[in-house]
Amino acid sequence: MFMEGKVSDTWCVDNAERLKALPPYLFAEIDRAKRQLEQAGVDVIDLGVGDPDLPTPAPVVKKLQETAEDPANHRYSFTEGLATLRRAIADWYQRRFNVTLDPDTEVLPLLGSKEGIAHLPLALVNPGEYVLVPDPCYPPYRSGTMLAGAQAASMPLTAENQFLPDFGGISQRVARQAALMFLNYPNNPTAAVATEACFQEAIQLAKDYQIIVAHDAAYSELAYDGCRPISFLQLPEAKEVGVEFHSVSKTYNMTGWRVGWVCGNARVIAALAQLKTHLDSGIFQPLQWAAIEALQGDQSGLQEALAIYQRRRDLLVEALNAAGWQVDKPKASIYVWAPVPGGESSMAFATRVLEQAHVVITPGRGFGEAGEGFVRMSLTVPTARLEAAAARLVKAL
């Protein structure tokens, strides 16, 4: 209640309990230490963020410029996105995965896939129900679950199991109360690639316990040495139980553009679309035209990017291996997931590397409890900088 326009001395902003309950930002300490070093004039190399350093293909930028000049593109767009974009996404799935999608009911554009991922539990999961979440994982699976008042149940990804979930280890009690399961392959942060058998097991569990599967395929196009990651939707019954998230972010160096999509099960997509009519008013149309250009235009930029990432991967892993740090070459993604050498915690090791080598690496613990014992290094810095980082890391070991 407002009294005589006066704000009381005790007036203060108190965050909602649901916001307070979100996990603490575990990289805050490292961020602070990095800023301190930089303010002191130290040259810090940041292998922390997974954000392509390469430019968006020129024809995509040009398409944005052209379409931004057309007043027809200046108004509210539709939540369901341009029909042409949905068709372009369906065509891309057909070409790439031989998966047939109905662009009207089985494809929904998103303001980046993160937006849809974080909102999905709000559309499908009741408070108190479980969401099965890989551990370690991309943080929005867990935070989206918590914002919906649901409970995250961890599926540990271990080296012994090639960083695939051990579905047999999920208790019946949890499975019965689970409404949704997130999966992500190629995986961030472990760089693991899924097998068909893994997806098949997920589908069986989903059918047995009525669980919706949400697979995140953000890195499906970033793979090396002839590896061709599969889509979850390639499995015969996948569309009956789930959806797949994807976006132009990693494939076309478009992380800042914010265009993604979800495709697959029409009921799941309708639920998310209904929620979204209350949250946003669609994607700026020039961005949609640009995404269409990315999906349908010249794909040579992707091949060039892959060659660059592969060269970076090889130089980093080979330098670390030569120094006695046993690190595997990832078959996909833009990350190297490495066991912490010695008995330190991942946080202590990352802190020491920052202080001694002036290189930012991400402690695995920040992605979940099961990420402890590992660190993540991103390949998204210019090759010469990565070479310098490798040399510094070797010296600090």
CA pair distance 186, 167, nearest whole angstrom:
18
Burial of 75 (0-12, 13-18, 19+ CB in 10 A): exposed
Tell me how far, at minimum, the Cβ of 190 lies from ligand PLP, in Å: 11
Tell me how far, at minimum, the Cβ of 250 lies from ligand PLP, in Å: 6
Tell me how far, at minimum, the Cβ of 323 lies from ligand PLP, in Å: 28
Which is closer to ligand PLP, CB of 77 or CB of 251? Answer: 251
The pair of structure tokens assigned to 223 is: 């793979």
Q: Cα–chain-centroid distance for residue 96?
A: 20
The pair of structure tokens assigned to 190 is: 């472990």
Which is closer to ligand PLP, CB of 203 or CB of 222? Answer: 222
Tell me how far, at minimum, the Cβ of 362 lies from ligand PLP, in Å: 12
Tell me how far, at minimum, the Cβ of 392 lies from ligand PLP, in Å: 25
State the DSSP code for 35. Answer: H
Give the sign of the dihedral formed by CA 108, CA 112, CA 117, CA 123: negative
Tell me how far, at minimum, the Cβ of 236 lies from ligand PLP, in Å: 25
Residues 6+ apart with CB under 8 A from 214: 117, 120, 180, 181, 182, 183, 242, 243, 244, 245, 262, 268
* Side-chain half-sphere CA neighbours of 292 within 13 A: 18
Residue 6's SS3 state is strand
Residues 6+ apart with CB under 8 A from 190: 136, 157, 163, 335, 337, 374
Tell me how far, at minimum, the Cβ of 257 lies from ligand PLP, in Å: 8
DSSP run (H or E) holding 176: helix 172-177
Which is closer to ligand PLP, CB of 79 or CB of 253? Answer: 253
DSSP run (H or E) holding 179: strand 178-184
Phi and psi torsions of 50, nearest 5°: -100, 75
Is residue 308 within 8 A of residue 106, CB to CB? The reply is no
Tell me how far, at minimum, the Cβ of 62 lies from ligand PLP, in Å: 21
Of residues 300, 237, 232, 289, the one with CA closest to residue 263: 232
Which is closer to ligand PLP, CB of 258 or CB of 358? Answer: 258
Summarize as ranges the residues that interact with ligand PLP (CB under 6 A): 50, 112-114, 138, 184, 188, 216, 218, 247, 249-250, 255, 260
Which is closer to ligand PLP, CB of 152 or CB of 319? Answer: 152
DSSP letters of 97-163? H-----TTTSEEEESSHHHHHHHHHHHH--TT-EEEEEES--THHHHHHHHTT-EEEEEEB-GGGTT
Bridge partners of 110, per DSSP, are 260
Which is closer to ligand PLP, CB of 183 or CB of 319? Answer: 183
Give the sign of the dihedral formed by CA 178, CA 128, CA 276, CA 143: negative
Which is closer to ligand PLP, CB of 255 or CB of 285? Answer: 255
Which is closer to ligand PLP, CB of 146 or CB of 323? Answer: 146
Which is closer to ligand PLP, CB of 215 or CB of 312? Answer: 215
Which is closer to ligand PLP, CB of 319 or CB of 364? Answer: 364
Tell me how far, at minimum, the Cβ of 216 lies from ligand PLP, in Å: 5
Tell me how far, at minimum, the Cβ of 193 lies from ligand PLP, in Å: 13
CA pair distance 165, 200, nearest whole angstrom:
12
